[in-house]
Amino acid sequence: MPDKFLKKLQADFDLGLSDCRKIISAFSSEMSKGLAGQKSSLKMIPAYVDVPAGSEQGRFIAIDLGGTNLRVLEIELNGRGGLRKLKEKKYVIDKKHTLASSGQFFGFIADKIKGFVSDHPVEAGFTFSFPVKQTAPAAGVLIRWNKDFAVRGAVGKDVVGLLNGQLLARGLPDLRITALVNDTVGTLVCRGYSDRHCDVGLILGTGTNACYREDLAKIGKWKGPKSAGEKMIINIEWGDFDQIKTSPYDKLLDRQSANPGKQILEKMVGGMYLGEVARLVLVDLVKRKMLFSGQPAGKLSLQKSFKSEYLSVIEADSPSGLRQTRNILSGLGIKNVSRPDARLVKNVCELTAKRASIISAACLAAVIKHIDRNLKNKHTVAIDGSVYEKHPVFAKQMRKALQAIFGQKAQKIKMALTKDGSGVGAAVIAAVAGTKKSNSAGTHD
């Protein structure tokens, strides 16, 4: 058993309380810099909205572009804080879409909307799960693509303008996009609509990011009206956080990625990358002849062959039989895996996911401390995303880490799975934008 090597791996991946404290301190300082408009790995983007009161009424469309799917929804708001999903359609975003020209890509979205919308006129919220410098409630310039998207000719442009152009070309001038929303913001608003303690939105899916409700007065870079007590949601873009200890595997993954040097935290946490992190460790073990008794690594040597979903399956596998682990390896061309080898593979998968959950908890702790230094109040964190939802122990490990950080007070933090909140929240914001004009005049650096 390669004890020395495993110990090093453990040291690289197994984060303790002191590592969490370091992350919290670095994250807080990056948040403050970002809010002040200074150079920071956290963009801290004003979202031009707060959680609405719940008096909005009517039917609204949500167009929810995530990292894996496009969803179009119709939502009805009853004017008393209640909402109902009337209709929903989901479309997979193929690799070819992510490499298309911006006309083709936004044309694809517009085609799906055209097939969905029957009534006219209609107001819609557009959830766009990529970093956008918002310039108005319904306008924002794409800073860059993440999650391996490489649509040509969109960076630096207003994404609502790009979509509107394609809607007009398809004879849909009556569909008015009144809100541009990040998926974290949609998730927070969706939950916050009925839960007044909800002040953080978190996505742990293909990509990762968080947002929270900030006092307008504390957003140093906001140049617009600032009435006392008013709040605005800040899209942290936390996936870009880079003040964090990385292993040689993270560095290699980053070098081989479509966006080297960017989204360092996302590459340690997001479902787009978790499988690849584990794969790089496993391939290294094979190369060092510490795994599979010198057998070649089969398809495992191919980039991205080890899917993040495997981490969930292997985590849940019974340690006595390790049948699922062996099945997955066999599918990759690695047969007759010994018990100690299967256990080592499970170990690597567990370490990778555990590290991701602890990093997520530490960053979340930093956000909550920023809002409420001594954790005096209750906080609900609205969370969505496949990693959080599907990995068998991710949520549990996050909670454990929060308990280690906050002690008893961690009870004040409720983590609430808010499924499909990103789209629903966008419809709510679209409704508000139709009635409320405040804060639409501000700008920021």
| Mode of pairing for the β-strands spanning 222-223 and 198-204 | unpaired
Q: Which of 50, 64, 158, 183 is catalytic?
A: 183
Integer Cα distance of 431 and 75 in angstroms: 10
Which residue, 266 or 420, has its beta carbon nearer to ligand BGC? 266
Which residue, 130 or 241, has its beta carbon nearer to ligand BGC? 130
Q: What share of the chain is helix, strand, coil (3-state, %, to 5)?
A: 45, 20, 35
- Measured from the CB of residue 253, what is the shortest distance to ligand BGC in angstroms? 15
- Measured from the CB of residue 99, what is the shortest distance to ligand BGC in angstroms? 17
Contacts of 372 by beta carbon, 8 Å cutoff, 6+ apart: 379
Which residue, 182 or 439, has its beta carbon nearer to ligand BGC? 182
- Measured from the CB of residue 266, what is the shortest distance to ligand BGC in angstroms? 6
- Measured from the CB of residue 265, what is the shortest distance to ligand BGC in angstroms? 10
Question: Which two structure tokens, joined as six digits, stand for 114?
Answer: 């055209």
Phi, psi of 87 (to 5 degrees): -155, 145
Question: Which two structure tokens, joined as six digits, stand for 165?
Answer: 């152009």
One-letter amino acid for residue 419 of the chain: K
Which residue, 351 or 356, has its beta carbon nearer to ligand BGC? 356
Tell me which residue has its CB nearest to ligand BGC: 207
Q: Which of 147, 267, 346, 354 is catalytic?
A: 147
- Measured from the CB of residue 340, what is the shortest distance to ligand BGC in angstroms? 37
Give the C-alpha distances (Å, rounded to integers) separating 224 from 38, 46, 230, 434: 18, 11, 12, 20
| Residues binding ligand BGC (CB under 6 A) | 67, 129-131, 146-147, 182-184, 203, 205, 207-209, 237, 239, 266
Which residue, 107 or 207, has its beta carbon nearer to ligand BGC? 207
Whether 317 is catalytic: no
Whether 242 is catalytic: no
Q: Which residues are catalytic?
A: 147, 183
